[in-house]
Amino acid sequence: MNLPRTVALMFAALSLSVLPLAHAHDHDGNDKHSDKELKADIERHQAMAAAHQAAAQCLAAGKGHSVCLKELQQSCKGLAIGKYCGMRHAH
């Protein structure tokens, strides 16, 4: 048995098992947010939804993926994480 490889695999497995716990900490289902924080969160989600709706309309108009992605990035700047406005899917 190759001990260093076994240790590396165990370390990798343990590292990956912690990821769901880290995510659960942020979204644990508890309502610990103030009314002000909740209102801001709702407004942020509505703004992201509007940005995604505009991107869908852009694509439906035939403007092309790269043009619509640039518009999405611009309208979603500061709202969500990443260049896909908090949502990414396969193509």
**Domain annotation covers residue 44:** yes
Tell me the C-alpha distance between 27 and 24, whole Å. 5
Res. 40 pLDDT band, cuts 50 70 90? very high
**Domain annotation covers residue 66:** yes
Asked if the model's pLDDT at residue 19 lies above 60, the reply is: no
**Domain annotation covers residue 45:** yes
pLDDT at 25: 43
| pTM given for the model | 0.59
pLDDT at 47: 93
**Domain annotation covers residue 89:** no
Tell me the C-alpha distance between 59 and 57, whole Å. 5
Number of domains in the chain: 1
Q: 53: exposed, middle or buried (C-beta count within 10 Å: 0-12, 13-18, 19+)?
A: exposed
Tell me the C-alpha distance between 34 and 73, whole Å. 29
